[in-house]
Each structure stands twice: as C-alpha cells, then as structure tokens.
Amino acid sequence: MQRRDLLRAFGAATALAFIPRDAMAAWARVASGVRPAAGLTDAQLALVAAIADTILPRTDSPSATDVRVPAFVDVIVGENYTETERTAFLAGVDALNTWAPVAAPSSDTSAQAARRTRPFADLTSDERGAVLTAIEHAPSRREEPMRTYWRLKGLVIHGYFTSERVSKDVLHVEVMPGRFEGSAPLATKAASSSSREIHDHA
C-alpha cells in the first residue's frame, strides 16, 4: 500500500480511535530509553526495522524507523503480550527472516533460491517488497509466518500513526484542543452573587 493510501485510510479520527492512552503509555516507555527485559533481541529488532521501513519508507513524510516504530513494537511485545503470545510472536518474527514463496521447479532460479536463505535485511528494496507482497497475497493469514506478519504490520501502523511526530506533522492531530490555563482566576464575584440570591429566597 502506498503512503498516500495509508494517510487516507488512517485520518485523524482513525488515529485517535487507536486507544491513544495506551499508545501514549508505550511511547513514554520508548522515550525513557529503557528496553523491555522480555522484548526483542537486537537481531529481531533489526528485522522489524527492515520490515517496518519496507511498509512505511521515508518519502515526504518520515519512515517507520524515523519515528522509532521498532522500539514501540519492542515495548508492546515485551510488556503487553502474555508469555505465550510473546513466544509465538518472536518465533514468527524469526521465521519471517528467511521466508520466501516456494517457486515452482520450472521457474526456480538461483536468485530465488538464494533469497530463501538470505536474511530479510540483506535483500534489496525490490526483493523486500516482493517478499512482503507475496505474504500479503498468501492464501491463508492463519499460517506462519503470515499470521505474525499481519500482527506485526498492525503494530507498525498503530505505532506510526500514534507517534508524536506523525500525529503532529503529518496528520496534524490536536489530541487536546484549546489551551490549559491552570492559573485562571475564579469567578468569585459571580459565585458570591449566586450565594446571596439563594439566601434571599430561603
């Protein structure tokens, strides 16, 4: 999907529907710089970054890694998933690293064979796009690693559109419109008048 299509699909209203409170909590953890103890390994984080930037590359708007989406995914998986969910997800991420569609024997080439063993991050931009396109057109989303890919894609898009930079600079979302004035004067005079009226009618 092209960036403009994503922006149309995830407008300001949709971005706000992503449970911003939970997203902001995750982004606060990202900002702290502390990685989850049960999160992704460095290799898994690099793979997530490569996939995320293939889905949302840098154009006239920032890429997924420009706004630290891989770190957001790390926090969600490491701190919000159950142990069972996390184990399955990380196994699926590892499977994505060398997955490629199995070509028919008649069309099998050395390049396709090599693509099945080379890490995703080592592929060219076109090869990465071809692998993800094949996953998205796979017959079933319930089989691995397709199931993990779709979960990951959801996290990537969720993180991207709830990041502060994209919300402000791309979607132009104002989560709390207006201005907070903590020192605004109280209307004591009006309150006193109301009190006198109540007393007079008593």
pLDDT at 138 over 80: yes
Band (pLDDT 50/70/90 cuts) for residue 1 is very low
Predicted confidence at residue 23, as pLDDT, reads 81
Average pLDDT over residues 159-165: 90
Cα dist. 30→51, 88, 108, 132, 134 in Å? 19, 23, 43, 27, 32
The alpha carbon dihedral of 178, 179, 181, 185 has a sign of: negative
pLDDT at 187 over 70: no
pLDDT digits (tens, 9 = 90+) for 10-38: 443 344 444 456 788 889 999 999 999 99
Domain ranges of the chain: 3-200
What is the DSSP track for 31-64? HHTPPPTTS--HHHHHHHHHHHHHHS--SSS--T
In angstroms, the CA 179 to CA 120 distance is 46
Average pLDDT over residues 106-128: 69
In angstroms, the CA 43 to CA 142 distance is 25
Predicted confidence at residue 180, as pLDDT, reads 39
pLDDT at 124 over 80: yes
Average pLDDT over residues 139-168: 91
